[in-house]
Amino acid sequence: MLSTRDIVHIALFAAIMAALGLMPPVPVGFVPVPITAQSMGVMLAGAILGAKRGALAIVLFLALVAIGLPLLSGGRGGLGVFFGPTAGFLVSWPIGAFVTGWLTERFWKRLNFGYLLAACAAGGIFVVYVIGIIGLSLIAGLPLEKAAAGSITFIPGDLIKVVIAAFVAKTVNRSYPVIRA
Amino acid sequence: MLGLYIDRNSAIHALAPGVKMLALALSALALIAVDNWRVLAAVLTAVLGLFAVARLPAREVVAQLRPVLFLALFFFAVHALLVSWQSGLVTVLRFTILVSLAVGITLTTRVSHMVDALESGLRPLRFIGVNPAKISLMISLAIRFVPLLVDLVREIRAAQQARGLERSVTAVAVPLIVKTLRMASVLTDAIEARGYDPD
């Protein structure tokens, strides 16, 4: 059952996802792919709101994209993004947020930077890549290993996002804890 | 609310969103069965014809389709190298058709109509404990707060720029989230003080 507080948290975090998409990508010296803040938002949703609310916030955000709002980074949006070869990565986001949130809740009593890193990596990288690669292989008709080989070139950039997300989540959870608050 | 919708007077614009979504779902199912690239090419031509029927400006349509066209070219090349150009063409045409149809729906359907369609589509889920009133509140709150938070990001960035931190993701994300969570708490009180009770 969702309380009014849960509803407001879910809605506002979906709006945070949109705002993160408007932040200009930050180029990082040694990685060719610039950091877009949005996929970091997936880990943050889980690590700050917890499994259920975090996943629902991302579902709500994707619903806003699907109904035609250009909220994905780079101003993309609409139903079209859910039918292209990279749709699996988008669909994986709520599940990734759920896993990060679930782990964060499990670790809550002894939560430190290391546990947050693990939770963010499990949800934000492992889950997202497994589902994304399966989707890519199905939609683009590629063998799994080729789809995987093409996708893992993005992992270095995402590892940086994991570190930033864990740091942001740690700081926010210390100053304004939402999970079990 | 600023969406991708383009206002025109056409038969496709006039169709109910539910009908368009159903057509998209059925096309997705039907396309799985087709593995002849000539048929798929004909279907794609017909779908692109729909954009003309909808009187959408070519520039906008091209801008929306550009990402999928790049992906299509890329995956066609990969397929041609790994498997064969025929299988590449079939795969690439299949997803290009679906993306084009989906883009067509987005360009011809108002966001408010999509919200209505989404809400009525979710109504049957009432029986498994999903409350449509709560979903409506979530959607309208989120839509209302997007522009507010975009302004908030701009403000925070300006403040951090003064401290030489405009390139730091953390220096923007932490205040953005903490401020938003504070807002959420005030907003919850405001909603409950007005006697909101969807259950």
Rounded distance, CA B199 to CA B187, Å? 19
Q: Cβ of A53 under 8 Å from any chain B Cβ?
A: no
Cα-Cα-Cα-Cα dihedral sign, residues B99, B103, B109, B115: positive
Which residue range(s) make up the domain with A123?
Answer: 4-175
Residue A29 has pLDDT above 60, yes or no: no
Q: Please report the beta strands in chain A, taking only residues with DSSP state E, as ranges in sequence order.
A: none
Q: Decide if A180 is inside a domain.
A: no
Q: How far is CA B177 from CA A23, B3, B187, in A?
A: 14, 25, 15
Return the CATH number at A125.
1.10.1760.20
Query: What's the structural domain count of chain A?
Result: 1
> For residue range A71-95, what is the model confidence (pLDDT) as tens digits?
998 788 899 999 988 899 999 999 9
Whether residue A44 is contained in a domain is answered as yes
Q: What is the pTM of this model?
A: 0.92
Rounded to 5°, the CA angle A45-A49-A53 comes to 90
Q: Is residue A111 part of a domain?
A: yes
| Residue at token pair 């087709």 | B34
Q: Hey, where are the domains in chain B?
A: 11-146
* A39 falls within a domain: yes
The 10s digit of each residue's pLDDT in B92-150 is: 999 999 999 999 999 999 999 999 999 888 888 888 888 888 999 999 999 999 999 99
Chain B residues in contact with A16 (beta carbon < 8 A): 149, 176-177, 180
- Closest by Cβ to A176, choosing from B28, B71, B178: B178
Substitution target in A5, A20, A64 with the highest count of B β-carbons within 10 Å is A64
**A168·B169 Cβ contact <8 A:** yes
ipTM confidence score? 0.91
Contact of B16 with B69, CB cutoff 8 Å: no
